[in-house]
Chain A
Amino acid sequence: MKLTASGMHFRTLNEQIRQSADTDIEITNCCGQRYIGSGLQGKNITIHGVPGNALASYFDGGSITVYGNAQDATCDTMNQGRVVIHGSCGDAAGYGMRGGQLLIRDNVGYRAGIHMKAYKEQQPLIMVGGMAGSFLSEYQAGGTIIVLGLNNQEKPAPIGALCCAGMHGGRLFLRCNSEPTDFDNHILVNRATQEDMQSIEEHLQDFCKTFGISYEEVIAKDFYVITPNTSNPYQALYTKNCV
């Protein structure tokens, strides 16, 4: 089904998507309609334009592809499925995400992956081709975030300030010009091992294929893996504990 979203209220648009018997839905002239794909299952939605806030919130399987930028709170509490943004994404992407994949070709705003979590086969993934804003991985509890910084010329790492504050689970991979610093002391920064790289190889290849990027170029730079220090996770939570 094809839908032209011009001037349409989000409620009308989302009702039409839900009521459609078609699996494949294409939306053109999208301009700020919120909650597209919210709680939806089993549909493949293609969007041309700028979808509104909370795109793919509670998304529960299927796919959403955006040709344009996404706004704030994309994939909020998403459960499963795949969201691909051919552009940049606003703040709080993947907020509390608990499964599925969010692939962003360009940059992501502040607080990406805040409180992302994982359990058994529920392993959420966020991949960013460009740079991430401050507070990336804030309170991250699980899952994997990969930031490639393909447009990063100067900075050591493709991130802003105060990243991984309160992180207590999951992994953050950063493709860097030099070793990233500036993390809290409850955070461990290591060069990615061969084993680490193998664990994300499939994702990297998928990302490159999706956006037409050279895989060789991506792996030509050093990757670092950032994890919480699980040996004494509450060491500096309120006050310094003695080890």
Chain B
Amino acid sequence: MLQKEGEIRIPSGCAISGIFSRSGQRFNGEEIIRSIAAMHDRSNGLGGGFAGYGIYPRTKDLYALHVFYDTPAAKDDCEKFIAQHFEMEVAEKIPTRRDPSITDEPAIWRYFVFPLAKKMLDIQVDEREFVARCVVKINTTIPGAYVFSSGKNMGVFKAVGFPEDVGRYYCLDQYEGYCWTAHGRYPTNTPGWWGGAHPFAMLDYSVVHNGEISSYDANRRFIEMYGYKCTLLTDTEVITYIIDYLNRKKGLTLQEVADVIAAPFWIEIEKMSEADKKKYTYFRNAFSSLLITGPFSILLGFTGGMMALNDRLKLRSMVVGEKADRVYVASEECAIRAIEPELDKIWSPKGGEPVIVTLDEGVTV
């Protein structure tokens, strides 16, 4: 029988790529497809995916839920749940294009919704917390239904296949966004479940990840105390929840999030100024279970920005390029040059040094 993620361990290689327009200019999804396709050999056809930001301008105040369904019953149950908790403006199939290499498709639906005020009042949580809880609830209690995207004015598109095929399958040339991230997966052994492809998303946070974190269980035990459920047992899922917890719930800045998950070594902290020593010692002590060890390079997408981060030993490659208002991040330089041969600047950030890009002041999306 086909095993799902979580029932089998999947170490992975992978490629990541991201493009961000600081001026908020929206560009076609075809561009990110060409970038990730340049690193074709870093993937093995067992997972590809994209996150686009600014792609739903006409419904930007509604949460866009993207859902995989294995069975019609799962769809019925999930839609019933959504109707009980949200005002549903639109329910539609996500448009796809037949591709011979993309098979075993689940039903793929999206809903533009808004939480019912009364329901939020009942449990006394804010809008985002309410949506997050509903997503966890669906994913853990409705068998065969999986919400893989749940932010406003953004969306995740993923499948089993090579990333360039997945991008064309989802007709990304029909979308325009100010930020795109992409992932090509290279698991050495996989049950090939669509939900297991990257990006992993929670609300508007999306993570694409190249690596293999060794602190998974320590991280999972900690984060599950705060209402998250790591249903997939893959490291990228736990990274997404850690970022959501630290940034959204604890109010840490993204720089501080990076200082927690890719904390400096104690020997480096010893050499810091008194003020820094105090700060970093506090972070390491307060969130010791959220230190992520092992190789990783990640790209975090969020409303209005993108963050790139390597593990502190820099056991995975990552290059950043700039050209005018655009910022490019990729596992390999060729993935940037493939779409922008002439760059103003190109460099490799140090291990543990986050590169955070946000929209220019005054730009709204």
Contacts and interface: CB of A to CB of B under 8 A. Distances in A.
A135 B333 CA distance: 21
Given A31-B338, A32-B39, A34-B41, A134 B317 contact: no
17 contacts: A10-B41, A31-B38, A31-B334, A32-B39, A32-B334, A50-B333, A50-B334, A50-B337, A52-B334, A72-B317, A90-B348, A91-B317, A109-B317, A110-B351, A133-B348, A134-B314, A160-B350
A133 B337 contact: no
A52 B332 contact: yes
A147 B346 CA distance: 21
B172 interface: no
Interface string B37-66: 011010000000000000000000000000
A80 interface: no
B300 interface: no
Nearest to B314: A110
A71 B332 CA distance: 7
Contacts of B314: 91, 109-110, 133-134
A170 to B, nearest CB: 22
Given A71-B332, A134-B351, A32 B317 contact: no
Interface in A130-189: 133-135, 160-161
Contacts of A109: 314, 317, 348
B264 to A, nearest CB: 10
Report the interface size class on chain A.
20 to 34
B337 A49 contact: yes
A238 B206 CA distance: 42
B332 A53 contact: yes
A13 B47 CA distance: 27
Contact of A32 (B268, B335, B346, B350): B335
Interface string A73-113: 00000000000000000110000000000000000011000
Interface string B70-103: 0000000000000000000000000000000000
Interface of B: 38-39, 41, 268, 313-314, 317, 319, 332-335, 337-338, 346, 348, 350-351
A71 B337 CA distance: 12
Contacts of B338: 31-32
Contacts of B337: 31-32, 49-50
A53 B41 CA distance: 11
Contact of A71 (B268, B334, B351): B334
Nearest to B264: A161
Contact of A90 (B39, B317, B351): B317
A135 B350 CA distance: 12
Given A10-B41, A31-B38, A32-B332, 17 more contacts: A31-B334, A32-B38, A32-B333, A32-B335, A50-B333, A50-B337, A52-B334, A69-B346, A72-B317, A72-B332, A90-B333, A91-B314, A109-B314, A110-B314, A133-B314, A134-B351, A135-B313
A66 to B, nearest CB: 12
Contacts of A32: 38-39, 332-335, 337-338
Contacts of A71: 317, 332-334
Which 7 pairs across A and B sit closest by C-beta, in order of nearness? A32-B334, A110-B314, A31-B334, A50-B334, A50-B333, A72-B317, A32-B38
B344 to A, nearest CB: 15
Contacts of B348: 90-91, 109, 133
Contacts of A49: 337
B207 to A, nearest CB: 22
Contacts of B313: 135
Contacts of A52: 332, 334
Contacts of B351: 110, 134
B136 to A, nearest CB: 37
A142 B39 CA distance: 34
A134 B350 contact: yes
A134 B310 CA distance: 13
Contacts of A53: 332
A52 B314 CA distance: 19
A107 B122 CA distance: 59
B333 A161 contact: no
Contacts of B333: 32, 50, 69, 71, 90
A91 B332 CA distance: 11
A110 B335 CA distance: 20
A17 to B, nearest CB: 17
Interface in A42-86: 49-50, 52-53, 69, 71-72
B313 to A, nearest CB: 8
A160 B352 CA distance: 13
A133 B348 CA distance: 10
Nearest to B333: A50
Given A31-B38, A34-B41, A110-B314, A161 B334 contact: no
A71 B41 CA distance: 14
Contacts of B317: 71-72, 90-91, 109
